[in-house]
Structure 1
Amino acid sequence: MRPYEGYVYAYPHKTAYRPLDPRPSLKEVWAGERPGSLYVHIPFCEMRCGFCNLFTRTGAPEALVTAYLDTLERQAVQVRDALEETGFATAAFGGGTPTYLSAGELARLFDLTERAMGVAFDRIPLSVETSPATATPDRLAVLVERGTTRVSIGVQSFIDAEARAAVRPQKRAEVAAALDTIRAAGVPVLNIDLIYGIDGQTVDSWLSSIEAALAWHPEELYLYPLYVRPLTGLGKQGRAWDDQRLELYRAGRDRLAAAGYEQVSMRMFRLPGGAGPATGYCCQTDGMVGLGCGARSYTSGLHYSFEYAVEARNVRSIIDDYVGRTEFGVANVGFELSLEERARRHLIQSLLQAEGLSRELYLGRFGTDVLDDFPMDHFADWLRVDPGTVRLTAEGLAYSDAIGPALFSPRVRRLMNEYAPC
């Protein structure tokens, strides 16, 4: 089994979504559901990295940003009217790069979201994504003043040549200045994203980037394997580095363990006590309300969103369509989860975490034992099974990106295979 089949950051994947017919009203969708988390999507970046397949556009003019915030407010008002309650426990601003917005625009984003959704960001954990070029003192001041508890910055590599190879032209001095700014602002939790598998990267250069990151004592680090994907700059070049990426992963994992970090998942490492579970953000939990043209929303029975694209011209078209919308009271594109798909989702979400799956929790939710529902004999060498839990071994975690996709249902796999990227 190849170790890098795909990153399972949500199940089912958005490429399994299809237009809903009929389109259900959000009042129906959210009836009896508890919205535990809020996600706000800002689809703008100053550049598109070569590895990126996120829904984002570059070089957005100020007029478009203003129009987007206007539309976001219209959407938020209508979504709030559809919810029975808004007891959000966590929130996040993602993208794109939310700090592409100016300090004034960020302040407006906070204002409109608080006013429309009734959320108090100073009372719940709030995570915001940033970049080296946009982590400026004025923007960070707004984030901290409004209650941000976690800032995640995509560094990818501290080595300029590797950053260029990933089609992310940045200088180490710019990265260092951004990290200094975040630390000076006093954000409680700093997360640094790094990527391994970049063309020309070695174990020594990879460990050099990790050492550089550790100089800022981040509460969290995410180590991402490089993927080559269709319609991204690197995907069009196309290479496979399975053995190299496994070697780099193991080297990075071992170095962070030696530095005192706990492994939370294949990608996530956390300092004990540095960021409790309430501070960490999980973007795919049930009961998540998504605002913005690239956001997804999750209820127990339906996952929904707007249209999805990667190519720049199609992303721009979808953003333009979103900005022109006036009606946000229905779900347009999505995936209805059967009881079996809900159980499968629970399994995948839990098993890919280092703490594993609680058999008691699964039994309480679905009335059956997980191993009866989903025999996993073909993963036996990578599983540690005891009466209370099913969890991955250390080597099993290394193969998370193979195990996760292997657990997809035939229906989800078929829909993903039929999806035509655009």
Structure 2
Amino acid sequence: MTTTAEETARADAAPTDAPRPYQSYVYAYPHKTAYRPLPERPALRDLWRDEPKGALSLYLHIPFCEVRCGFCNLFTRIGAPDELTGRYLDALERQAVAVREALGDGRDVRFANAAFGGGTPTFLDADELVRLCDIAELRTGADLRAVPLSVETSPATATADRLAVLAERGTTRLSIGVQSFVDAEARAAVRPQRRADVEAALSRIRDTDIPVLNIDLIYGIDGQTPASWRTSLDAALVWRPEELYLYPLYVRPLTGLGRSAAPLTDQAWDGQRLRLYRQGRDHLLEHGYEQVSMRMFRRADAPAQGPDDYACQTDGMIGLGCGARSYTSSLHYSFEYAVDMREIRAIIDGYTATPSEEFARARHGRRVDGREARRRHLLQSLLQAEGMPLDDYRTRFGSGAFDDFPSELAAFAARGWLEPCEDGPRLRLTPEGLAHSDALGPELFSPEVRAAMAAYEPR
């Protein structure tokens, strides 16, 4: 999939009506900013009664970090005073019990994979991580040692005792946010770290039995050059990570960079990020990695992640924690969303005081009808390098993708973003289509979701 100079020149000369390449990272649809309070507060038992529950995904959210990076707009707070982590785990356990009761006790409830995210789950100390795993296993029924388990960490919290707990409890994938191996770039991203500390953390991770290491890197940082980007790429490759994620930098409202710097939104920055993306993509492809999505690259000889029969387009998700979301076929729900630190602290405090009976109802979310389900299926399939089997779409919805989205797919094809395949077995993006995933994805949002997101007031 390496792009030639001629192909790059053609991409740089794209039609003037093409949208800007960096609009929104589409990792879920509809986005949380389209969620609203649910006045009827439906009971989880009713929501899940008729849902398939044989291949659920389990996500536990820990909303704490030792620092907050300048680009971060995730639901997380700095530090946890006054034994807050213990109170948070108490609430997480109450929620897990309530949710498991709502799912029912039948043998049809099974989890196909699990993840601990945040924030930084390894902000918890080793004993607290043991308790977190116990909550997942004893309160929800997930068998962590039998399914893929992914955990996020940071250089400062990837300590030997924490890693030992995660390895012993069956973690199969550890993802560490490095972002840059160049200290000056880390400072520019308001991420206080030293390369020596990053390397020490990576060494500790490689000393464990966790089979898959993922390293996150960011391109588009102020002062970053092709040479310094190559430095970070090569420094990451030394560790032969099974996975690498390459993220474009975004500057969002209410983040550290958003408050302290003029927004970097001009076309020159777009061009810089596209060039760095292509450089990083081609470098990884040349070093034995396969592209899975715009962001994700997997080493060709990486070990399998074990039995993973969860399909993100159709199967449900159980999210525990105040920043987690849950999915049924007709409703996506969560707690309130915020970026501002004061708002986040208030939401976390409210979560820790929530009684058990309140966890048995959905309070904040968005209904997903058949039209939105089609959009979600197309989005989550098309943004993967392998694309979407057209027969799968027709089997699920009884119609064809080109019938349901004629104008959108025609526009993508006109821009050179789609491989010719209207009569073929699979709908797939071209290399430049993948490069423009953050423009393509938002164009598939429905007018109703767009309006809800536009009306959202950042908090």
Give the TM-score category using the shorter length. over 0.9
Contact kept? 2:34, 2:449, Cα under 8 Å: yes
Return 5+ residue gaps in structure 2 as ranges.
1-18
Partner Cα distance (2:63, 2:133) in 1: 16
- Indicate the SS of the match to 2:41: coil
- Shift of residue 86, structure 1, vs aligned partner: 2.8
1:288 to 292, 317, 337: 317
C-alpha offsets along residues 31-81 of structure 1, whole Å, 9 cap, x if unaligned?
122341100000000000000000000011251100000010000000000
Q: Which amino acid aligns with 2:410?
A: D
Measure, in 1, the Cα distance between the counterparts of 2:176 and 2:80: 21
C-alpha distance in structure 1 between counterparts of 2:333 and 2:315, whole Å: 12
Which residue number in structure 2 is paired with residue 129 of structure 1? 152
Q: Deviations over 1:204-228 (max 9, x none)?
A: 1001100000000000000000001
Q: What is the match of residue 45 of structure 2?
A: 27
- Alpha-carbon distance, 1:279 to partner: 7.2
Partner letter of residue 48 of structure 1? Answer: R
CA distance in 1, matches of 2:151, 2:109: 20
Match of 1:320 in 2: 349
Q: Say whether residues 1:421 and 2:439 are aligned partners.
A: no
Letter of the structure 1 residue corresponding to residue 86 of structure 2:
T
Helix, strand or coil for the counterpart of 1:335? strand
Shift of 1:266: 0.1
How do residues 252-263 of structure 1 correspond to structure 2 at under 5 angstroms?
A: 252-263=280-291
What CA deviation, in whole Å up to 9, does each residue of 1:304-340 have, x standing for no partner? 0000100000000000000000120000001111101
SS of the residue 1:108 aligns to: helix
Give, in angstroms, the shift of residue 277 of structure 1. Answer: 6.1
**Residues 58 and 319 in structure 2, CA contact (< 8 A), matched pair in contact too:** yes
Partner of 2:405: 374
* Cα distance in structure 2, aligned partners of 1:274 and 1:197: 28
User: 1:100 and 2:123 equivalent?
Assistant: yes
1:86 maps onto 2:109 in alignment = yes
- Cα pair 2:172 2:305 within 8 Å, conserved: no
Match of 1:385 among 415, 420, 423: 420
Letter in 2 for 1:384: E
| C-alpha distance in 1 between matches for 2:179 and 2:82 | 28
Residue aligning to 1:239: 264
Contact residue 46 and residue 58 of structure 1 kept, 8 A: yes
Structure 1 residue 125 displacement after superposition: 0.5
SS in 2 for 1:392: coil
Matched letter for residue 416 of structure 1:
M
How far has the Cα of 1:6 moved from its partner?
0.6
Is 1:410 matched up with 2:447?
Answer: yes
Q: 1:286 offset after TM fit, Å?
A: 3.4
CA–CA separation in structure 1 for the residues paired with 2:85 and 2:312: 24
Say which is worse superposed, 299-308 or 379-388, in terms of deviation.
379-388
Q: Which amino acid aligns with 1:200?
A: G
CA contact (8 A) 1:20 1:332 kept: yes
What displacement does 1:113 show? 1.9
Displacement after TM superposition at 1:389 (Å): 0.9
Distance (Å, rounded) in 1 between the aligned partners of 2:307 and 2:167: 15
Specify the alignment match of 1:154 in structure 2: 177
* Shift of residue 284, structure 1, vs aligned partner: 7.8
Q: Give the alignment's TM-score, normalised by structure 2.
A: 0.90
Give runs of aligned pairs for residues 141-290 of structure 1, distance below 5 A. 141-236=164-259, 237=261, 238-240=263-265, 241-276=269-304, 278=306, 286-290=315-319
Unaligned runs of 5+ in 1: none
Question: Would you say 1:309 and 2:338 are equivalent positions?
Answer: yes
The answer as to whether partners of 1:196 and 1:206 remain within 8 angstroms in 2 is yes
**1:111 to partner: Cα distance:** 1.2
Q: Provide the rounded CA distance (Å) in 1 between the counterparts of 2:210 and 2:304.
A: 14
CA offsets, 1:289-309, max 9 Å, x none? 000000000111110000010
Match of 1:346 in 2: 377
For residues 100 and 283 of structure 1, do their structure 2 counterparts lie closer, same or farther at Cα, with a shift above 3 Å needed? farther
Please say if residues 312 and 380 of structure 2, whose CA atoms lie closer than 8 Å, have aligned partners that are also in contact: no
* Selected match of 1:66 from 86, 110, 119: 86
The partner residue of 2:362 within 310, 331, 336 is: 331
User: Would you say the 8 A contact 2:186–2:192 is kept in 1?
Assistant: yes
Alignment partner of 2:69 out of 49, 57, 68: 49
Separation in 2 of the partners of 1:282 and 1:4?
Answer: 27
Deviations 1:123-175 (A, max 9, x none): 11100000000000000000000000000000000000000000001000000
Return structure 1 stretches of 4+ with deviation > 2 angstroms.
275-286
SS in structure 1 of the partner of residue 114 of structure 2: strand
Structure-2 change in CA distance of 1:15 and 1:278 (3 Å) = farther
Q: State the aligned residue count.
A: 422
